[in-house]
Amino acid sequence: MSKTFRWILIIAVGVTAYVLGAKAGRARYRELRGIAQSVWNDPQVKKIRKRAVKEGQKVAKQAAKQADAALKHRG
């Protein structure tokens, strides 16, 4: 099999898979996207996200203080 034929075959298979997958997969993609959005916007998940952001900010401040102390101690 020549290199040219191999590339043409790969491109043809890729285009065919894209066309077939785009038509069949679009509905499933929309369904999964809707599920993900409903989970993301759930009130309990929002509370957890806010708590995680606050905790992350708290940990970042502690890490910054420790880094400053380490730099002062070093130099």
Question: pLDDT tens digits, residue range 4-24?
Answer: 888 888 988 888 887 777 766
CA R_g for the chain? 26
* Structural tokens at position 8: 């043409």
CA 55 to the chain's CA centroid: 21
Q: Which residue has the higher pLDDT, 54 or 31?
A: 54
Question: pLDDT tens digits, residue range 62-74?
Answer: 999 999 999 888 8
33 neighbors 39 (Cβ within 8 angstroms) = no
